[in-house]
Amino acid sequence: MHESAAQIFINALLANNFVLAMFLGLCPFLGVSGKLETAFPMGVATTFVMLVASLCAYGLNLLLAYFNLDFLRLISYIVIIASSVQLVEMVLKKYSPALFRALGIYLPLITTNCAVLGVALFQTAREYDFIQSMTFSFGGGAGFTLALVLMASVRERLTLSDVPSVAQGTAMSLMLAGVLSLAFMGFAGLGG
Amino acid sequence: MSQQTVSTLDEFMEGVWRQNPTFVMILGMCPTLAVTVSAMNALSMGISTALVLIASCWLISMVRNIVPKEVRIAVYIVIIATFVTVVDYAIQAISLELYDALGAFIQLIVVNCIILGRAEAHAAKNPPIAAMINAAGMGVGFTIGLLSLGVVREILGAGTLFGVSLFGADFQPWVVMVLPPGGFFVLGSWLLLFSTLERRKQRKLVEATQNA
Amino acid sequence: MNVEALVPQTTPTVAMIRTLGLLSAICGLIIVASYQGTYAAVQENKRIAVERAVFKVIPTAKSIDEYIASPDGAVTKVGAGGTASPGAVKFYAGYDAAGKLAGIAAEGAAKGYADNVRILFAYDPVAGTVASFSVVASRETPGIGDKILVNKDFLENFPLEAKLSADLKTLAHEIRTVKHGSKANPWEVDAISGATITSRAVGKAINDAAQALLPRIAPQLDKLKEKSS
């Protein structure tokens, strides 16, 4: 593809936001977006895993193509992702135990975050080169964090508002997400 | 120690109603919102996920006694990825159009929390047949969830159902329904509906005990 | 009190490796078996899809030959489903019942509103025009983006001029999509009002693919004119 790195970044961040337009990473989006102080670190951790996964997927893809082992792509990607998450867990545990405890169960759950595997699969399908892949995953992670932070800010405010009890919980979050998604549609075409 | 024997029907229905992955457990949201733009896509995704669920739970249950517990999650994921690859090729062989329509979400079945959750919670502790029945129930429940979105979004957003035009050529489709925001709104509405019904049931229960 | 029994047993490494090895072997076997089992059917599906798409854009074609145009200028015929290495461009030569070249078809892709829009367009080498196009894959907004298939004004953009410059190295004029109603030249694509982004994607897809392919096949046209056996 002939898209520039900047175009890809803006696109992944806004116009084709991973969460609000491509529906990737919804489980943590609905689960962790309750409080701003957990939402932001979660976004950053996920972005980091996405970068590592994207890097490894790029290399892995070259290897698989060379040896004509395309049918092993999915399995090798998922093993790489699981390993990356283990790595991030160990690093966090050593250098920031407070953050490690704060994120709790959600850290290993990054493995099942469709956004991470989604990054690897999409960059392969669109045949991005190295720079494009890196900007794509960085933009995607930033977009995920952005959506998470926006959602968390609104939900925090919402706890003080008079939401009808039938709508409390996931139903409200989904309606919120729908409005956010609608707003983000306004970014269409940005970045060329 | 007394063992609780759960009837086969109970095992199956658990996934369909009481623990419905879409409406009760709120799992597997990514494919639920992404591929339910039409009823056919929803049905295909549901069947694919169900097949992967059943096959994975079968194999995981078969090897449950020899898998070292330290690496069990990694093993489960590899097994699930194997069957997703199989289903991926099967769909390509059946219909390339369907494959294009479902896109990357076929391969994303691997990270569908439903399957890993079922493996951990059920297949790892039960014999193969029971695991498969429970998995089948979950698969059916998930398909019902997907269809409930797919049918609504297709009827409102395209005026067709399974490709068959319902309202004729003059129908002005509610286009947002087949766009991302529509997915959020429709699922939110379904949850709202269930929540209201649940509330009403609770109220009736309270009234009944008060009047007794 | 047996202290050993109180310590949680961890699996010995040998047993772990043995089990993991066994499981990897089983999974590997399943994957390879399914790949081999479906290979023929998948290739057939792909072939049928390509055929259908090419016959749609080159209506007079009765048979198709697949070619790859490599960066060094060589044009080689490949079997069905051959993939182009980076830098090489794949195209389809459609031949009519008499074995004469009816048209060249090639794929192009560009970013649309939602995702990439992949199209197949037909190039008439004699007239130097893009005769028509069809959509291979798109996720554009139904009712808006998919108007490119049916909007009469948009379809009237074709045949689109795609002549090469005098030195045959590039297109004489870049194919661009212009605002609805402002088309002034035969190499411009008049966008659909209200579906500018998707219209632009079509224009860009054709332009990018034509810029890459047409200079490479221009010197080889004689070779392609008759269906080679």
Judged by CB atoms closer than 8 Å, whether chains meet at A2 and C109 is answered as: no
Contacts with B179 from chain C: Cβ below 8 Å: 141
pLDDT at position B3 is 42
Do the domain assignments include residue B48?
yes
Residue B167 dihedral angles phi and psi, to the nearest 5°: -110, 5
pLDDT at position A146 is 94
pLDDT at position B46 is 93
Domain boundaries, given as residue ranges, for chain C = 42-225
pLDDT at position B170 is 76
pLDDT at position B2 is 38
pLDDT at position B142 is 93
Contacts with A188 from chain B: Cβ below 8 Å: none
* Residues of C within an 8 Å Cβ radius of A: 27, 31-32, 35, 109, 111, 113-116, 196-197, 208
Tokens of A175: 């309606």
pLDDT at B210 over 90: no
Do the domain assignments include residue B35?
yes
Tokens of B94: 């059946």
pLDDT digits (tens, 9 = 90+) for B16-39: 877 888 888 888 888 888 888 889
Q: Is the peptide bond before C8 cis (omega within 30 degrees of 0)?
A: no
Contacts with A76 from chain C: Cβ below 8 Å: none
- CB distance B157 to C142 below 8 Å: yes
Tokens of B42: 């929803």
pLDDT at position A162 is 83
Beta-carbon count within 10 A of A75 CB:
22
- Which helix H or strand E contains C14, and what residues bound it? helix C13-57
Residues B29 and B184: their CA atoms lie apart, in Å, by 10
Residues B142 and B29: their CA atoms lie apart, in Å, by 10
Residues C62 and C64: their CA atoms lie apart, in Å, by 7
**Domains in chain B: how many in total?**
1
Residue C65 dihedral angles phi and psi, to the nearest 5°: -120, 135
pLDDT at C2 over 80: no
Q: Which domain holds residue B26?
A: 8-163+175-211
Comparing CA positions, the residue from C112, B153, B180 lying closest to residue A184 is B180
Q: Percentage of chain C with pLDDT > 70? A: 90
Judged by CB atoms closer than 8 Å, whether chains meet at B104 and A122 is answered as: yes
pLDDT digits (tens, 9 = 90+) for B157-181: 888 888 788 887 777 888 888 888 9
Q: What is the 3-state secondary structure (H, E, C) of chain B?
A: CCCCCCCHHHHHHHHHHHCCCCCCCCCCHHHHHHCCCCHHHHHHHHHHHHHHHHHHHHHHHHCCCCCCHHHHHHHHHHHHHHHHHHHHHHHHHHCHHHHHHHHHHCHHHHHCHHHHHHHHHHHCCCCHHHHHHHHHHHHHHHHHHHHHHHHHHHHHHHCEECCEECCCCCCCCCHHHHCHHHHHHHHHHHHHHHHHHHHHHHHHHHHHHHHC
pLDDT at C224 over 60: yes
Chain C residue with minimal CA distance to A18? C114
In DSSP terms, C75 is beta-bridged to C69
Higher pLDDT, C120 or B166: C120
Chain C residue with minimal CA distance to A191? C111
Closest CA–CA distance from residue B5 to any residue of chain A (Å): 32
- Cβ-Cβ contacts under 8 Å for A54 (sequence gap 6 or more): A119, A120, A123, A133, A134, A136, A137
pLDDT digits (tens, 9 = 90+) for A25-45: 888 888 777 788 888 888 888
pLDDT at position C9 is 57
Contacts with B89 from chain A: Cβ below 8 Å: 71
At A166 the three-state DSSP class reads coil
pLDDT digits (tens, 9 = 90+) for B53-73: 999 999 999 988 888 777 788
Contacts with A117 from chain B: Cβ below 8 Å: 107-108, 110-111
Higher pLDDT, C13 or B195: B195
- Cβ-Cβ contacts under 8 Å for A70 (sequence gap 6 or more): A64
Contacts with C35 from chain B: Cβ below 8 Å: 85, 89
Do the domain assignments include residue B169?
no
Contacts with A188 from chain C: Cβ below 8 Å: 113, 197
- CB distance C77 to C63 below 8 Å: no
Closest CA–CA distance from residue A182 to any residue of chain B (Å): 5
ipTM of the complex: 0.84
Residue C123 dihedral angles phi and psi, to the nearest 5°: -115, 130
Do the domain assignments include residue B109?
yes
In one-letter notation, the amino acid at residue B85 is: T
Looking at chain A from residue 17 to 36, which residues have their Cβ under 8 Å from any Cβ of chain C?
21
pLDDT digits (tens, 9 = 90+) for C21-77: 888 899 989 999 999 999 899 888 888 888 888 888 888 888 888 888 887 777 777
Tokens of B130: 């029971």
Return the minimum-mean-pLDDT range out of A139-143, C86-90, C124-128.
C86-90
| DSSP character at residue C156 | T
pLDDT at position A143 is 94
Do the domain assignments include residue B63?
yes
- CB distance C117 to C205 below 8 Å: yes
- CB distance C129 to B159 below 8 Å: no
- Which helix H or strand E contains C200, and what residues bound it? helix C196-217
Beta-carbon count within 10 A of A112 CB:
26
Q: Percentage of chain B with pLDDT > 90? A: 30
In one-letter notation, the amino acid at residue C25 is: A
pLDDT digits (tens, 9 = 90+) for B114-136: 898 888 888 888 898 989 999 99
pLDDT at position B4 is 46
- Residue A126 has its nearest CB partner, among C27, C32, C116, at C116
**Subunits adjacent to chain A (3 or more Cβ pairs under 8 Å):** B, C
Low-confidence ranges of chain A (pLDDT < 70): 1-2, 191-192
Closest CA–CA distance from residue A188 to any residue of chain C (Å): 6
Judged by CB atoms closer than 8 Å, whether chains meet at A82 and B187 is answered as: no
Do the domain assignments include residue B2?
no
Tokens of B154: 């297709």
- CB distance C207 to C176 below 8 Å: yes
Cα C40 off chain centre by: 21
- Which helix H or strand E contains C102, and what residues bound it? strand C101-111
- CB distance C202 to C133 below 8 Å: yes
Judged by CB atoms closer than 8 Å, whether chains meet at A3 and C208 is answered as: no
CA angle (B120, B124, B126) in 5-degree steps: 130
Q: In b/e form, how buried is each residue of C158-197, taking b as 16+ CB within 10 angstroms? A: bbbbbebeeeeeebeeebbbbebeebeeebbbbbbeebbb
Residues A76 and A80: their CA atoms lie apart, in Å, by 6
